[in-house]
Amino acid sequence: MIAAEVKKPGMLTTVQDMGRHGYRHLGIPLSGGIDRWSLRTANVLVGNDPGAACLEITMRGPEMIFLKDCVAAVTGAEADVTLSGIPVPMWEGIFCGPGDVLTLGSPKKGSKSYLAVAGGLDVPVVLGSRSTYLTGCFGGIEGRRLQKGDLIRTLFKRHALDCLGKKYPKRYRPRFEDDIMVNVIKGINADSFTEKEFRRFLDTEFVVTPRSDRMGCSLEGISEIKSNIPAVSESCPVVPGSIQILPSGCPVVLLNDAQATGGYPQIACVTSADLWKIGQAVPGTRVFFRETDVRTARSEYQKKWVETGITERNPEVRFYSKTSKYHYEITLKD
């Protein structure tokens, strides 16, 4: 069904789910929501599968007018969200009726917000995923970012209104700090660096530069990191989170749209539990890396997976919709 129409697309808004698995050997990257935790929680709040397709909203948000009764939720970067001019909270299910205009402002903290609509966004599945891959011009809405006039379609969801009244507990919500500590696992090319140089990498304060996109987050440090080998080695597989050291001595953290293999030496790799911190970091954020091991990384991931699925009952469900011609009486079920 057609849920809404885009009035303003925002700076960079794309459809993303949990990504495209199984095609990396053909050079097709994972794609998918860069802050997978906020994407998951947004879906849980509206009763979707954790990997349903959402809008990933980078920096300035979109404006859209709803055409049907919908339950939506906004998570991720802290932005002002209004429904027909009335401020509505993030991290809880909100009711949007026909004629309601949902607007997301620029984030005050963080860089990416996620908008889930009950049922999940309905765009064609391309190679097993609904995620937009901008470089390849496929997935999402015609392989591109949102534009004015796009219709937001959702899959049908029975009893969508029953999802209202869920809220993500404050204590679990992400905090977007100016200084972030990010856990890393030693990289597959760590032997291209001396032990001293690896230590220097862990001791250096890096800063996020503006040259960052869905492919990678580029960092700059006070001291350069030097590898023992020439700039380009034999190609190796990469993952979102791989930290490559460029010939300039600066690191770049690969993100979800990065290609499947890369030739720059990988000194370390951000854990999948912590990658959202890099994805949400705005230029100027200071980054420190801390070494961890694979086992700890996995248990952190599992902890986070459970945590981001926990919701609590909203003591009071308010209707923000101004224009809906219907009046709902909703019985909240436990």
Partner 1 sequence: MEIKALGDNALVIFYNTGDYIPESLVQKDYLKLNRAKPDWITDIVPCYSNIGIYFRHDDITVEEVWEYITSRLKEQRLPEAEYKENKVAVPVYYGGEFGPDLPHLAGQLGMPPEEIIKIHSSALYKVVNIGFLPGFPYLAGLPKKLAVARKKTPSLKVPAGSVAIAGNYTGIYPFESPGGWHIIGRTPLRMFDLNRSEPCLLKPGDTVRFLPQTNY
**3-state DSSP assignment of residue 266:** strand
- ∠ Cα 43 46 48 (to 5°): 50
- Residue among 227, 192, 238, 218 at smallest CA distance from 287: 218
* Complex with partner 1: residue 16 or 321, whichever CB lies closer: 16
Is residue 23 part of the contact set for partner 1 (CB under 8 A)?
yes
Minimum distance, C-beta of residue 297 to partner 1, in the bound complex (Å): 4
* Complex with partner 1: residue 8 or 24, whichever CB lies closer: 24
All residues at 6 or more sequence positions from 163 whose CB lies less than 8 Å from its CB, including other chains: 45, 46, 47, 71, 93, 118
Minimum distance, C-beta of residue 126 to partner 1, in the bound complex (Å): 7
* Complex with partner 1: residue 129 or 321, whichever CB lies closer: 129
- One residue of 11, 86, 181, 294 binding partner 1 per CB under 8 A: 294
Minimum distance, C-beta of residue 133 to partner 1, in the bound complex (Å): 8
Is residue 25 part of the contact set for partner 1 (CB under 8 A)?
yes
State how far the alpha carbon of 238 is from the alpha carbons of 10, 103, 226, 245, 270, in Å.
30, 37, 20, 13, 11
Is residue 284 part of the contact set for partner 1 (CB under 8 A)?
no
CB-based contact 289:202 (threshold 8 Å): yes
CB-based contact 334:313 (threshold 8 Å): yes
Site for partner 1 in 301-330 (CB under 8 A): 301-302, 305
Provide the 10 A C-beta neighbour count for residue 82: 17
Is residue 106 part of the contact set for partner 1 (CB under 8 A)?
no
Per-residue x/- track, 132-171, partner 1 (CB under 8 A): ---xxxx---------------------------------
Per-residue x/- track, 219-258, partner 1 (CB under 8 A): ---------------xxxxxx-xx----------------
Q: Structure tokens of 95? A: 């009711």
CB-based contact 141:132 (threshold 8 Å): yes
List contacts with partner 1 (CB under 8 A).
21-28, 126-127, 135-138, 185-186, 188, 234-239, 241-242, 259-262, 266, 269-273, 294-295, 297-298, 301-302, 305
